[in-house]
Every structure is written in C-alpha cells, then in structure tokens.
Structure 1
Amino acid sequence: MPMADLNRSAIAALVVAFCGLGLGGCDALDSINPFAEKYKPEVVPDVPADKLYSEGLARMEDQDFEAAAKKFGDLDKQYSYSDWSRKALLMTAYANYEGAKYDDAISASQRYIKRHPASKDAAYAQYLMAMSHYKQIPDVTRDQDRAEKALVGLQELVQKYPTSEYAADAKAKIQITRDQLAGKEMEVGRFYLERRNFPAAINRFRDVVSKYQTTRHAEEALERLVEAYMALGITAEAQTAAAVLGHNFPDSPWYKDAYKLLQSGGLEPREERSSWLSKVYRSVIGRTAEAQ
C-alpha cells in the first residue's frame, strides 16, 4: 500500500476509534482542532418593525446619523416591500443627507423614486437627491459635474412636482446653480481671451449668453464678446453684442466699457438682426412674454 494511502487509512481509523468512545472521544478531537472556535449557527430573531423605526428616530435625535441610517437600512431589509420598508428607505436617504453622506443619500433617494414613483413622498426623495448634488457643488475653478447633476435634479423636481412644497426652494436653487455654471464658463472664457484664443473665448461667452441670460454673468459675457469680436475684426457682431448689452443693461459699467471700445474703432452699438445674438435675444423676449 502506498505511504499516502496508509496515512489516510490510519487517520480514518483514529477518528473512528475516538468517536467510538462516545461524545467524550469526539470532544477529545477538539483538542487537536487547529481552529480555536467552532461554527455555531445562531438564529437572530426579527426585531419588530416599529421598534427598529423608533430606534432609528432616536439615533436621529442624538445626531448619530450613521447609526440612524443603519437602523433604517436594517428595517428596509427585514421588512422588504412593506410600508415600513418604504418609510425606512426614505429615512435612510434623509439620515445620510443630514450626516453629509451625500452619495449614500443619492443612492437611497434614487431607489425610493424607482420603487415608489407614485408615493406622496416621491417629491421629497427627488428633493433630497437634488440637494445632495447641490451640497457638493465646488468653487468655479473645479469641474462642475455636481452642479450639472444638481441642476437636472432640481429641474426634474419642478417639472414633475410643480405644486409640491419643495418647488419654490428648488426654483431658487436652480437660479443659483445656473449662476455657478455660467461662472465656470466665464472663467474658462477669460482664460482663452487672455491668451488671445479668441474663437475659443467666444464659444464660452456665447454659451453664457445663450444658456444663462438671467444670471449675473450675462453683462460681462456680452462685453467680452465685444472684445473678442473686435480683436478678430468681426465688427458687425461686436456692434450687435454692444447693442444687446445696452438695451438690457443700459446702466451697466460693462456697457460703458463696450461702448468705449467700439468708439476707439470709430464704431457705435448697432444690432444686426441676422446675428445669432439678436436671435437669442428675441427668443428670450418671446419666452418671457409667454411666461407672463
């Protein structure tokens, strides 16, 4: 018999001999067990749903948002597809939001909206999701992906739930977010303008005028367009930009600068109706009239 088979046979015989001695013999095998612990299956009884929910609320009151989110998460798992699960999922999003765990809040909010789109609390879940992006908006020197996602989320809230109690705040946040995105475009546009990359600068300022006309950056964007177009010798567009600026912001210092710049070239503000700027302006006037 090969040595390996002999060893296996001897070990098997030893095990049988020990176990043949009864429980005491099998217990003796534990003394040579290389693992210190034995697996003992435990059955954890379900905690009543209302108790888990109350425990989560208690953690919220103690400002222990991480523990609260865990309690609500346990409730969601243990009572899946129940009304308790629906409440727990929304509270999970809220606890994570309050605890500045914004990505977790976004995830929980999205799950809630997907599972319960017709719920009376769906608007709040949408608000939590949008605000979780909004809270992470960085300064204009950095990438504005969060601002763009916040804008989309806030706009969806206003469109889907226009009569909700969160719609008014969402509208205010939309304006702030749009101003942030316009600020980023202005920063990049100025960068190109300083380096005399006038076409690239024009594209950025054009975006501000086209997409963010109601922000505080529109005045400067129009004046910067005058600068860039004058530098390229495209005087008709420069004159139109100045004319639009003067019509909308006649008392703006940016208009005074644009006017002086045109005068230095023997020109004056004059709107060219075929210009893209003129068309953008007329479309804005049309939308404003419809809204009124």
Structure 2
Amino acid sequence: MADKTLIGKHTFATRYPLGKAALGAVCAALIVSGCSKETDTNAFLDPTVPADQTYNEALANIDAGDLTEARKKFQKVDRQHPYSDLAKKSLVMNTFLAYKQGNYPEVIASGKRFASLYPSDEEAPYALYLVGMSHFRQLSDVTRDQKSARETYRAMNEVVTRYPDSEYVEDAKRKMRIAKDQLAGEEMLVGRYYQERREHLAAINRFRTVVEKFEDTRHVEEALARLVESYYALGLNSEAQTAAAVLGHNFPDSQWYKDSYALLESGGLRPSENQGSWISKAAKLITGA
C-alpha cells in the first residue's frame, strides 16, 4: 500500500466529513456543540472562547481551503485546553495539516509529542508514521549526508515495533528498506573512494559494514566483489577467496562474481570458503537481495 493511500485515509473528508455541508452539519457529525454560522473575527484571540467553537471554526477553515488558519486554531485549542479530548484531536489534525503543507520540522515535533502524550491512542501510530514520512520526504542523494535516511529508518522502525498491528506497518517496512539502501549506498561510496586511493584497509571496513549491517540491500553484491579486490590487493588470499565463494553462492549469475572469479584465476586461485572467516559467518544473513 502506497504512502499516499495510507495518508489519504486520514483526509478530513473521510475522518471528519466536511464536503460542501454547512458548519452545523460538520459539528453534528463530530458531536461537538457550540457551533455558529458566523465566525467572530476576534474569537481566535479571545481565550474565553469555548474549545469546541474554535475547533469547529478550524474545520470550517479546512472546508474553505485555508489550512494555515485552520492550523492556528487547532494550535489554540491545544494550547488553551491541554489534555482535553479536543486538544488531542487538534494536535493530530495539526500534524496532518503541517504534513500537507510540507512543514516537516513541525510535523516531526508535533507527531512525536502526540505519541509521547497519547501512546495508547488509536492515532499514535499514524502520528509516528507522519514523523517517518517527513524524514522520508527529505531523503537526499547518497553523495550527501544521510541523516534523513537514518531518521526515516528510526521513525518507521518505531511504528513497526510499537504498533505491529497498525495499518501503517507494511508501508513503514518499505520505507525502512529504502532508507537502509540509502545508508548502504553511502558506505559503498566512501569505500570505493578509499579503494581508488589504494587505502584498502579503510575500504574493507566500509564494505564489511555493508555485508554485516546492510545484508538485505542491493549493495551487498558489489560489496562482496570489492572485498575480493581489496583483500587480493593486500595479499590476503584466503579472505579474498571466501568473499568470492560467498558471492558465487548468493549471486551465481552476477557479473560481479564473474569478474571476481577471473581476478582470482589470474593469480592461480579459485573461490574457496573459509568457515572461520567473518565473511562466512555474515553470509548466513545475506538474502541475495
């Protein structure tokens, strides 16, 4: 299920029917009193205005397409009536509107706050999912800092572990895989840089990280081949042969394996797995992704 569909389930048209109905109909649907056909322009600044009136005015703003004004009023309810049922609703709705407007820092702060205040509420997994999506929307190319990828993985993992039965789990897992692939790509980029400079030990450390920590990403295939090259360049033939053997077992038709095999053969060697090598132990986790 795509994230767009999941988030769409929380549109106000489906959760809190607005459509073209009058504000009075909206209030009836929400079972909230204090509705008025006219909006007092000074009500937003008056702390004595009942929470339900401000809340309903925010809903009317949404119906009119004024999301910024709606957010202000939801924030007012949350600020002036803390821990009330309407404050709780206002907080999650403000989080959603902030996401719709692309205000990701606000989404992250608001979503985390909701999950912290109301961890058992049915909307808590949704709030955390929006936090993860806000980080996900800021993913950058692997040549740049991958903070957003790390935060995406962390936030989506929280959705999966804390709310395993929620409707967001499957998409959260997909986003985790994408984030993990980004992080593996960053390691490969740095590893190739070191390898080109013939700093093979530094390169090996990066490629090893991919094999051990990102074993289910598309980068593990190349990482194993790069390990063959780096270990072979250092004269560590047993490790090079083991890496090639693991590569051949998991990716027998890979061009990376063919190249690794040819490299070893040029030195009179063949792929051969050393069961005591860290590579052999890590191979048990490789999925052939």
TM-score greater than 0.5 by the shorter chain: yes
Q: 173, 176, 179: which one pairs with 2:175?
A: 173
* 1:155 aligned residue: 157
Of 266, 269, 273, the match for 1:267: 269
CA deviation after TM superposition for structure 1 residue 53, in Å: 2.4
| 1:170 CA displacement | 0.5
Q: Assess if the C-alpha contact under 8 Å between 1:113 and 1:125 holds in 2.
A: yes
Cα pair distance change 1:281/1:63, threshold 3 Å: farther
**Aligned equivalent of 1:49:** 51
Retained in 2: the 8 A contact 1:201–1:228? yes
> Separation in 1 of the partners of 2:79 and 2:279?
56
In the alignment of these two chains, the number of paired residues is 243
Q: 2:14 is matched with which residue?
A: none
- Paired residue for 1:120? 122
Change (3 A) 1:207 1:64: farther
User: What amino acid is the match of 1:155?
Assistant: N
- Contact 2:57/2:70, CA 8 A, preserved across alignment: yes
In structure 2, how many angstroms separate the alpha carbons of the residues matched to 1:134 and 1:45?
Answer: 37
AA at the equivalent of 2:165: T
Matches within 5 A, 1:77-96: 77-96=79-98
Structure with larger Rg? 1
CA contact (8 A) 1:60 1:95 kept: no
For each residue in 1:162-215, what CA deviation from the matched residue of structure 2 results, as whole angstroms up to 9, or x when unmatched? Answer: 110000100111111111111111111111111111111111110110011111
| Secondary structure, aligned partner of 2:119 | coil
Q: Distance in 1 between matches of 2:70 and 2:155?
A: 25
* 1:160-239 paired onto structure 2 within 5 Å: 160-239=162-241
Give the corresponding residue for 2:249. 247
Contact kept in structure 1, 2:111 and 2:128, CA below 8 Å: yes
In structure 2, distance between residues paired with 1:146 and 1:224: 27
Runs of at least 5 residues in structure 1 that lack an aligned partner in the other structure: 1-42
- The residue that corresponds to 1:3 in the other structure is none
* CA distance 1:118–1:132, change in 2 (3 Å): same
CA-to-partner distance for each residue in 1:224-257, whole Å, 9 max, x for gaps?
1111111111111100000000000101111111
Q: What does 1:100-139 correspond to in 2, within 5 Å?
A: 100-139=102-141
Q: Distance in 2 between matches of 1:134 and 1:252?
A: 31
Cα distance in 2 between the residues matched to 1:108 and 1:151:
19
Deviation at 1:45, TM superposition (A): 5.1
Higher helix share: 1
Percent of matched pairs sharing the same residue: 53
User: Aligned ranges for residues 4-83 of structure 1 at < 5 Å?
Assistant: 44=46, 46-61=48-63, 63-83=65-85
- Name the CA distance, whole Å, in 2 between partners of 1:269 and 1:69: 62
2-structure distance, mates of 1:114, 1:67:
26
Please report the TM-score for the alignment, with normalisation by the length of structure 1. 0.79
1:58 Cα offset (Å): 3.9
Amino acid at match of 1:181: L
Q: Distance in 1 between matches of 2:122 and 2:220?
A: 39
- CA drift of 1:132 comes to 1.2
Give the drift of 1:72.
Answer: 1.1
Residues 35-73 of structure 1, C-alpha deviations (whole Å, 9 max, x = no match) = xxxxxxxx8353333332233334445554433322211
Q: Deviation digits for residues 96-140 of structure 1, max 9, x if unmatched? A: 111111111110111111111111111111111111111111110
Unmatched 5+ stretches in structure 2: 1-44
Larger relative contact order (Cα-Cα within 8 Å, sequence gap ≥ 6): 2
Letter of the 2:50 partner, please give it.
P
Q: 1:250 to 1:88 in 2, by over 3 A?
A: same
The AA in structure 1 aligned to 2:86 is W
Deviations along 1:250-277, one digit per CA (max 9) or x if unpaired, are: 0111111111111111111000000000
Q: Is the 8 A contact 2:47 2:80 kept in 1?
A: no
- Tell me what 1:31 maps to: none
Question: What CA distance in whole angstroms lies between the structure 1 residues aligned with 2:68 and 2:275?
Answer: 59
Q: 1:96 to 1:251 in 2, by over 3 A?
A: same
